[in-house]
Amino acid sequence: MSTEDIKDIIYIDVDEEITGIIDKIQESDKKVVALVLPKRASVFQSIVNLKLLKRAAEKKSQNLVLITSEPSILPIAGAVGIHVAKTPHSKPEIPAHPDSVDQYEDESMDLDNGREFDPKSSKEKAVGELAAASGVALTEEKIHKPEDIDETIDISDESLIDDATGKGENEPSKSKKSKKSKKDKKDSSLKVPDFNKFRKILIIGGIVFASIIVLFFLFGNLLNKATITIQTTTQPVNASITLNLDTAAKSLNTANSNVPAVAQSTQKSSSQSVPTTGQVNNGNKATGSVTFSSVYCSSQPPSSGPPSLPANSGITSNGVSYLTQSTTTFSSTGSFYKGCTSFAANDNTSVIAQSGGSNGNLSSGSSFEVPGSGYGQIQGTNPNALTGGTDNMVNAVSQNDINAATQKIGSQDTSSVKTALENQLKQAGLVPIAGTFNTGTANTVASPTLGSAGNQVTVTQTVTYTMLGVQQSYLSQLVTNSVNQQINTSQQSIVDDGVSTAQYNVIQSNGTTAQVTMQATASVGAKLDTSTIKQEVAGKKTADVESTIKSDPGVTNVTVKLSPFWVSSVPTDQKKIVINITKS
């Protein structure tokens, strides 16, 4: 017969009552009933409850085994006579009987007062009520802290039963119990400390403590940093320098303040339209023909006639301009009178009025002049009337109209152009001299052109704007030279050269050169060298750092900030030291 056929393992909950446990025992049909007890099972620390369990098992001829190692339950189980197994691999045995059985057994105790115990009828009653009903005063043993129990149970036939009566083969006899000394009983209830476990805890704790110290040391050396802020007093020193800016200069000349400059330029086209106020006669032009002649006076007759009069030559009559339409040649008439020789044109010349209008119409015999003819005086007359001129007055572009549109363009705001040039110079790493902003010659175009018919004229101007810029290092060098001549350089140094806030007054500028007056206010303070300070304070405590730096003249306050928080001295590595110098 296998172990599973004769045994039954029952797991007990910590809050389970005695009546429920008795029901589970009675429901089992196995010869051996093993109860696995939880920790702090107070229901099993009463001798009355254990007697009730044992009686319920005996009624069904079952052997009861408690799986526990709690010291508070063992003496009670021994007093009642119930087998106990500490671990799944140990054999069940009845624990040693306590020294005084009277504390657990009372001969006058009668659990049921002559009546048979009925678990079903008492199922709903608590353990205390059952004990009170039997007239017994229950006393609980002191509950000791239980040890962990391995809930894996493997109870073999040999360890529980060795005959039909269900007694274990290792069940101690009453004579053996009586032979045990009180000292042995006392020692068996003592818990021996686990020194291996204690030693392991000490070792682990030591390793953790050492690791923390190492981490603090590493972080203190790898992440440490010092920021030292030095506050100094300063005094202003003015520098006034006349700069000669020149885009053709290649290098700085500190003797005469000749400074290389860069001209930044940009083009901008602007247009303005105005209505036309001029008028032109757009009628037909008068036409006709003119006969030209010339008289040359000298002591000797000329060897040849005057030069030809080319086509499109301008001639006038009565204030009206005409244009010749063909070339006119001359030949001598052969007459010489009072020192003058006459020349006549070989043919009549066709002419046309320059402008339309009826005023170009002339009657025959009108006189014409040729301005600037140079060789003698060329004159002309029209043998026939000039006709065909008609009037048709329309609006036209006048010079006043062009001037009005140009003035509007000149009045436009150029601040955006000026700002754009300043930004371009700054982006190139230069200091813009705003006063050198220069407007170049405008290229003006009118449409329609001057004198052309039209109701509106649009004038477009394209202008090139320039501004000069200078490298800041040149200006700083000039200011430094000027300030150093006014201070004691062995005890004082320039904290701020003032170039960033300097004022410039332009005396003259033409787009490529300029003469500018520069006004800068430099701040002069104690002469401090950051490299020397780092060498002096490396590895020192905060108090020593402050006293060392404050000994320099002009230093008013020193603040030392160390990190991380547990670091107490400045790093020895100068790369981890930051020096900030402020002025007040």
Segment 250-263 mean pLDDT:
93
Q: Does 173 lie in the same domain as 68?
A: yes
Residue 415 scores a pLDDT above 80: yes
pLDDT tens-digit map of 70-127: 888 888 888 888 999 876 567 888 888 665 444 444 433 344 443 444 444 444 444 3
Which residue, 536, 548, 534, 545, is CA-closest to 568?
545
Confidence of residue 344 (pLDDT cuts 50, 70, 90): confident
Q: Which pLDDT score is estimated for 281?
A: 86
Residue 171 scores a pLDDT above 80: no
Q: Does 104 lie in the same domain as 31?
A: yes
User: Cα–Cα distance between 524 and 491 in angstroms, integer?
Assistant: 10
Residue 169 scores a pLDDT above 60: no
DSSP for 482-531, please give it. HHHTTS-TTTEEEEE--GGG-EEEEEEE-SSEEEEEEEEEEEEEE---HH
Q: Does 97 lie in the same domain as 38?
A: yes
Report the number of distinct structural domains present in the chain.
4
Q: Minimum mean pLDDT among 72-81, 99-108, 343-352, 522-531: which range?
A: 99-108
Q: Minimum mean pLDDT among 29-43, 209-223, 428-442, 522-536: which range?
A: 209-223
Q: Does 136 lie in the same domain as 209?
A: no
Average pLDDT score, the chain: 79
Note whether residue 138 is domain-resident. Answer: yes
Domain boundary among 345, 364, 391: 391
Q: Which domain holds residue 202?
A: 193-221
Q: Which pLDDT score is estimated for 4?
A: 58
Alpha helices in 98-256 (DSSP H): 127-133, 157-160, 174-179, 182-188, 195-222
Q: Which pLDDT score is estimated for 337?
A: 64
pLDDT tens-digit map of 360-397: 999 999 999 888 765 557 889 999 999 999 999 899 89
Q: Using a pLDDT cut of 70, give the percent of the chain over it.
A: 77
Residue 3 scores a pLDDT above 60: no
Q: Which pLDDT score is estimated for 335?
A: 64
Residue 504 scores a pLDDT above 90: yes
What is the layout of strands, in order, in the sheet containing 83-85? 7-11, 32-36, 63-67, 83-85
Q: Using a pLDDT cut of 90, give the percent of the chain over it.
A: 32
The one-letter code for the residue type at 148 is D
Q: Which pLDDT score is estimated for 10?
A: 86
Confidence of residue 552 (pLDDT cuts 50, 70, 90): confident
Segment 510-524 mean pLDDT:
93
Domain boundary among 391, 413, 446: 391
Q: Which pLDDT score is estimated for 288?
A: 96
Note whether residue 465 is domain-resident. Answer: no
Q: Does 17 lie in the same domain as 162?
A: yes
284 vs 281, 357, 359, 453, 549, CA distance in Å? Answer: 9, 6, 11, 15, 99
Q: Which pLDDT score is estimated for 2?
A: 56
User: Cα–Cα distance between 242 and 507 in angstroms, integer?
Assistant: 10
